[in-house]
Structure formats: structure tokens, C-alpha cells
Amino acid sequence: MLLIPCPWCGPREDDEFTFGGEADIPRPADPDALTDEQWADYLFMRDNRRGRHREQWCHTAGCRRWFIVERDTVTNEILGASTYGNSS
């Protein structure tokens, strides 16, 4: 079990949250300008890192805010959490 530090609500058990995959994969500004390979990289390719991993979580059964958690994927240790800059 993970204790997820929701930036708004505090630490809560992970079953209140939804995992949203790797963070920092912004949607390309102009998808039509991309090759099929570049588009596939955006859609599907992931670092899937062993170790430090920045990822998205949503406090689904709480404040319903999305935020970023940094976690070690081997030990599951939570290394930090941050909010999306402009979300209010």
C-alpha cells in the first residue's frame, strides 16, 4: 500500500487515487507535423523506469485534483509531490 501525499488533502491510502501514468508527456502542439514514428512515441513509448519515476495521480475519491508524484518504482518510496502550475 502506498500513502500518497495529496498536495491538497494530505497523505491518504492509495485506493482513494487513480494512477495516471508517466508524467511530463505533453500532447504535441501540432500533431499533424509529426511523423508516424514521432506520434507513436507520444502515444505509446514510455520510460518505464526502474527507480525515480515522475507520474500522475488523481485524488479521485477526494479533491479530484491531478498532481505529480515522484516515486521510486523499486522500493515504492514516495520522494515528493507537486501540483500542476496553473490548475486552480
Contacts to another protein by CB under 8 A: 1-3, 14-15, 18-22, 26-27, 30-32, 34, 36-37, 39-41, 43-50, 53, 55-56, 58, 60, 64-66, 71, 73-76, 84-87
Shortest Å, Cβ 74 to another protein: 5
* Minimum separation from the CB atom of position 29 to another protein (A): 9
Question: What residues contact residue 40 under an 8 Å CB cut-off, 6+ apart?
Answer: none
Which residues, in sequence order, are CB contacts of 11 under 8 Å at separation 6+?
Answer: 3, 4, 5
Kindly state the smallest distance separating residue 9's Cβ from another protein, in Å: 15
C-alpha to C-alpha distance for 63 and 22, rounded to whole angstroms: 21
- Walk across the sheet containing 52-58 and list its strands: 18-22, 52-58, 66-72, 78-83
